[in-house]
Structure 1
Amino acid sequence: MTRRGLALLLALSAITALYGCSSSDPKVAWEGDGAPIADLDPEAVADAVPRPDPILRAGNTSPYSIDGVEYHVLDSAEGYSEKGIASWYGTKFHGNKTANGEVYDLYLATAAHRSLPIPSYATVTNTWNGRQIVVRINDRGPFHPDRLIDLSYAAAVKLGFADKGTTDVLVETITLAGIDDLRDSETGEYRYLQLGAFANPATANNLREAVAEQVSAPVSVTPVDVGGQRLNRVRVGPVADGAQLRRLRDLLMSRGYSPGLALP
């Protein structure tokens, strides 16, 4: 082999090593998908914090069809427990909208499921090593028949299988009190948007102040007892009508918030 040929071979080898996470790499859960360049410390991955978000129409159409296969969304997430195979999705979808309009962040503990209501919260256990994480289910998938749940890259790192692509898991939903199921309701009946409910009043007030600078509608913090715990709800409204409510919701979602419809 000539020196020039050897140099070319070495260069190609270096490129292959640098970009080894390709569509044929078994570590990749989706074609063209992969992990971020920087490594993520499993200890830096925080559990999702369950909260009683309302169940809206967004992401919960049932039945729905993907590639000619029909799927149904469950009436409730309560009591759901199932074992199966988990995969993960990463950079290909980072920054894109999930099924309910939220923005996918591969560094957060989120997941996609075919049939659980959105949003739901679940504890996912890697049955190979016992590691656990609490995730917020805000997307639809996986649509491979042999897989149960798609986890964010961060969740896969926390569970210790990001380098493999799939693992066996147990998915158990977390039951929350005070959840409004508004899937069959029209936005015209509602005059409020809820941005969250927090145990810490300071967290709620900080969110109220931040949102109040961005919208013309009133933003308030109101206490509510949920399951024996005092929470502080951050709400926007009342607004004039359903059209204004939709415009306000779109504005807040475009700025990274996750507003849900709420009754007074």
Structure 2
Amino acid sequence: MQKKQKEWLEQWQRYKDSSLFLFQEWLYPNTLESFKGKRVLDAGCGHGHHALMAAPYAAKVVGVDLNAAEVAREETKNAPNIEIVEADLAAMDFPEPFDAVFCIGVIHHTDDPDRTFENLKRLTKKGGRLIVWAYSHEGNWLNRVPLETLKRLVLLRLPKGALAVLAHLLTLLITPIVWTLYLLPLRFLPYYEYFENWRILTYSRNMLNVFDKLNAPQTHFIRKERIERWFRAEDFQDIHISPYKGVSWRGSGTRR
């Protein structure tokens, strides 16, 4: 059983995410329309932002989170077809599987991503769709090595207010670089594709991205062969695996 991590509750009490654009990008090639009339599981729902986006389409959305369920319940209280459950994604159980399951930006923060994926697969009904978006090992050296080391030694020991100030300062520092140097056709620069989104998103959403990177208590960076192993042809059909902005993987498949 994964232990609760207060960092996530504190993050979702402090920040909100209302970026429909990003959610649609991470779901690709699946769409919100594909949830129409279905019973949907949002695995790792945070404060409930993606559940709220899926709710107008789905017959029922069940959002599960180990750390921020109380925040999600408050955020989604006016959506009659959303139910929030507090549970460990690798151990949660329901009486019947779901028509669609999505796990967006969460599986790589669990204790055992392989075990978590197996449980998500089990909870996807035959003919149902499982959708995962996860940080990639490829293209993420700066996050994997210097940042993760700095987090362990310093950042996770800081008060969340100080971490929020640091995220604000870093966002201020990065923004002019993204709007000058990264406008040049220099695709060899680190995170070149990633910063294309930076120019689309609001300042507050970019600051949330920065805070999230500084705050996450644990992160597993997923190699291509690992996500390919998750979506093996024996278990899934109509498989889609693609890189997203050079720093993450989108994976989805229909359960056999």
Q: Decide: shared fold, TM above 0.5.
A: no
Structure index of larger Rg? 1
TM-score, scaled to structure 1: 0.26
TM-score, scaled to structure 2: 0.26
The structure with more strand, counted as a fraction of residues: 1
